[in-house]
Chain A
Amino acid sequence: MDDVIIARSLFGMTMAFHIIFATLGVGIPIMILLAELLYQKTKDHDYAVMAKRWTKGLAVLLGVAIPSGTIAGVQLSLLWPGFMEVIGKVMSLPFQIEIYAFFIEALFMSIYVYAADRISPLMRIVSVFFVALGASASAILITNVHAFEGTPAGFRIENGEIVDVDPWAAFFNPSFFVTAGHVVLSAYMTGAFVLASIAAYQLLRAAQNEQVRRFHQKALKLSLAVGGVFSLLTAINGHESAQLLHQYQPEKLAAAEGLFETQSHAPLAIGGFTDAETQSVKWAIEIPWALSFLAGNRFDTVVKGLNDFPKEWWPPLFVHTLFNAMVGIGMLLLFLSAAALIWQKWLKRPAFPRWLLYGFVAAGPLAVIGIECGWIFACTGRQPWVIYRMMKTEEAVTQTGNLAVLFALFVAIYILLSIAVVLVLRYYFRRHPVADDLRKPPNEGTLPV
């Protein structure tokens, strides 16, 4: 295998691992903040317990999110020195500002966890607000670098030299807001659905006392409400993301949809596999005209097909499947939230039926799979470019060699950390069941970690 493939696999694996913890690190603080606010509003002790347990889980997840994020950040320079040279000259602002966001998150996370018993309720809420703010801001800023790779701005390359540098134009590149929005909204959605999964799973288990059951029901309702709102917002924003592709990276949209011929009234292909030989998507369900409408809000929008581009610029065609999986999961989650809403508000049933609870249990893992598919689609769909139409991935890669050994080392470490994090979470929450926390006196706000 050549170095580009190994370097991409290594970095891709780092990101695939990190993104799970990073997403939860962005999504869960919002849920903790809401639980804290609900506690202050209702004085219902259950919400304080909820905030406490979610914080405990978050602390363990951050124990992996922070070092894996450090790996991702440093690996950028180690594996892609050519890319980081351009980034350093043109697009270093988001990295720099992200550092401040990290600091805010780290400082206030420690304050929230280790000083909770010594600060006022207001300062507790302020602290957890800053944790959420820092986490979201760092997600927005790092996604901005990803957005820049797709829609570069603020510089030109002339005879191998970087000229006309405008760092703020690079910062506010065309896809910044939509792409960053997509990442943050889907992270809020995923954090909420993962917590919903846990609550639903607990409700499905037999023989719970009434107090514990009520606790999990409250947690489930809160998570589903948040998950529902953000899955709707993610879908709306996803539509804008697709239109952005139509405008700025047409071959990526064409590969996502398996469209070969440029045409108006283009059909939307759902499912199936793109076949380059026959220039079609095999076994797909085609909805006539829908792709044109999605791309430009009009049926006569001309959507560019892959044949308009040289073949060496084509992204890998399997991205069609990733794109479908991402959109499909998003729709399914939206449907699940709608089902929950209908059940509760219109049918006014007190508890969810078991079949729906099974659906909620699946929601968290599905959301994480959706995030993974989305990221792999976004990064693989940009190939062969690392910076769209500016720099090829193979030009950016390190020349050092020895990558296969490092790949094996990092695989081992990610497996070790994955196993350890699952064991530690299981161990802790088995040792400290909800019932114990609910029995404790309500005014005890301590979170000894």
Chain B
Amino acid sequence: MTNELIAITVLWGFIFIYAVMATMDFGAGFWSMVYIHREKANATTIANRYLSPTWEVTNVFIVAIVVALFSFFPGAAFLLGTVLLVPGSIILILLAVRSAFLVFAHVAKEYEKALTYISGITGIIIPALLISVLPITHGEFIDIRKGVPTLNLERFFTNPHAYSFMGFAISSTLFLSSLLLADYSLEAGDREAYRLYRRDAWITGPLSLLMAGCMMLTMRYEAKWLYDKMMEYWPWLIGSVAMFAAAGIALSLPSSRHPHVRGRPRLAVIAIVIQYFLASYAYGKAHLPYMVYPDVTIESAFTHPDTFRALFASYIVGFLILFPGFVYFWRLFMHDKRYVRPK
């Protein structure tokens, strides 16, 4: 593996982890808004219970992506920083509002409803904006005016390709989060909430697969180079769809541990994460060597080799230091019955 490939793998790894964590994070914010009026069900409580300790950690990943991008690929950072000024700023503002009001809502209980609406709505817009970075890297929306690369916002907002990505982001956010919360509810022994979230996953799952189909369809016309190369990785795409089916089966099987409950959500969550991993691998591999088509490749944007070596060493040390912390965190919040089960 060349240095460039290692670097882009690390960056893509961060993006994938963030994508999964963030969809769960943003989705949980959305669901806690949807179910806030149901007095009996604990669905909101369960969403908040998951959300409270994780949002800070999730937020670090987005900073990690930006840092990995400009430290490994300073050349791409210049172009992306320039064209993403407007969408990036809007994302930042929404993220700030959302994170701040998420915290405020927990502290000021009386205003919880209004504040939950703010974090719920922003939480559903942010994934749509975040994913729009991908069609922008396909190059079709970037113009060079007087030697300066600029984003053609008009073309962007009138293009079906951009909207199919956004639709995919929103439906995936709702799908992944409802599935995870279904699992979390069952872990908490709350069948009422489990039924709600399992139903939501049944609706949003096929919807997100449909949106993925739309995405491929628009890609065929708007980014032919990418579509053709993705089709070369068809076994990965077939595998991805197969994992989706596997998740459906897992949700239909009778539970092994809980009598009278249908579905094995833990299995379904794992299958869906693998599904998204396979699909994103095919997408990412097809995207190479371009970071921003057609001007910036991973070779042309790459950092100084000595800097790369130092960064890589720091990654290894950092991982060794952080790993036990993550394990401890996982055990306290995802695995500890005393936390997961509401009193």
Contact = CB atoms under 8 A, between A and B. Distances in A.
Q: Do A and B come from one complex?
A: yes
Contacts of A119: 332
A115 interface: yes
Nearest to B336: A118
A217 interface: no
A296 interface: no
A130 B150 CA distance: 43
B89 A88 contact: no
B67 interface: yes
A103 B323 CA distance: 10
A97 interface: yes
Given A92-B311, A103-B57, A428-B107, A409 B93 contact: yes
A198 to B, nearest CB: 17
Contact of A402 (B64, B79, B86): B86
B57 A106 contact: yes
Interface stretch (A37-45, A164-172, A201-209): A164-172
B92 A71 contact: yes
A280 interface: no
Interface stretch (A79-87, A182-190, A265-273, A350-358): A79-87
Interface string A228-258: 0000000000000000000000000000000
Interface stretch (B29-37, B48-56, B201-209): B48-56
A5 interface: no
Contacts of A118: 332, 336, 338-339
B62 interface: yes
A88 B74 contact: yes
Interface stretch (A55-63, A299-307, A369-377): A55-63
A339 interface: no
A406 B89 contact: yes
20 contacts: A74-B92, A81-B81, A84-B81, A88-B74, A104-B321, A107-B325, A107-B326, A107-B328, A108-B325, A110-B52, A110-B54, A114-B339, A115-B332, A115-B333, A115-B336, A402-B86, A406-B85, A406-B86, A413-B93, A421-B104
A99 B101 contact: no
Interface string A107-149: 1111101110011000000000010000000000000000000
B100 A421 contact: yes
Given A399-B148, A400-B150, A428 B108 contact: yes
Contacts of A420: 100-101, 104
Given A81-B82, A165-B306, A400-B85, A71 B107 contact: no
B291 to A, nearest CB: 13
A84 B73 CA distance: 10
Given A66-B56, A111-B332, A96 B314 contact: yes
A77 interface: yes
Contacts of B314: 93, 96-97, 100
Contact of B103 (A63, A99, A100, A106): A63
A409 B89 contact: yes
Interface in B179-220: none
Contact of A68 (B72, B96, B106, B311): B96
A153 interface: no
B103 A398 contact: no
A67 B106 CA distance: 17
Chain A facing B: main interface SS: helix
A56 B72 CA distance: 38
B45 interface: no
B100 A63 contact: yes
Interface string A400-435: 101000100110010011001101100110000000
B97 A89 contact: no
Contact of B59 (A75, A106, A167, A410): A106
B41 interface: no
B108 A71 contact: no
A177 interface: no
B259 interface: no
B307 interface: yes
Interface in B94-149: 95-104, 106-108, 110-111, 148
A64 interface: yes
B111 to A, nearest CB: 8
A77 B63 CA distance: 12
A290 interface: no
A162 interface: yes
Interface of B: 52-54, 56-57, 59-60, 62-64, 66-75, 77-86, 88-89, 92-93, 95-104, 106-108, 110-111, 148, 150, 303-304, 306-307, 310-311, 314-315, 318, 321-322, 325-326, 328-329, 332-333, 336, 338-339
Contact of A78 (B89, B310, B322, B326): B89
Contacts of A66: 56, 59, 99
B304 A165 contact: yes
A410 B80 CA distance: 20
Given A84-B78, A424-B104, A97 B92 contact: no
4 closest A-B pairs by beta carbon, nearest first, are A88-B74, A63-B103, A92-B71, A67-B96
Contacts of A166: 306
B137 to A, nearest CB: 15
Interface string A200-221: 0000000000000000000000
A9 interface: no
Contact of A90 (B56, B104, B307): B307
Given A399-B148, A428-B108, 5 more contacts: A64-B100, A77-B66, A89-B307, A92-B67, A400-B82
Contacts of A111: 53, 328-329, 332
Nearest to A57: B107
A1 interface: no
B329 A110 contact: yes
Determine which residue in A97, A115, A165 has the highest number of CB atoms from chain B within 10 A of its CB, and name it.
A115
A423 B53 CA distance: 23
A344 interface: no
Determine which residue in B60, B88, B97, B307 has the highest number of CB atoms from chain A within 10 A of its CB, and name it.
B307
Contacts of B82: 81, 398-400
A66 B103 CA distance: 11
Given A93-B310, A110-B54, A167-B307, A67 B78 contact: no
Nearest to A417: B100
A73 B56 contact: no
A168 B310 contact: yes
A168 B62 CA distance: 25
Interface string A155-183: 00000001001111000000000000000
A449 interface: yes
Given A67-B96, A84-B70, A92-B71, A106 B60 contact: yes
Given A59-B107, A402-B86, A167 B310 contact: yes
A262 interface: no
Nearest to A420: B104
Contact of B318 (A88, A97, A406): A97
A419 B8 CA distance: 41
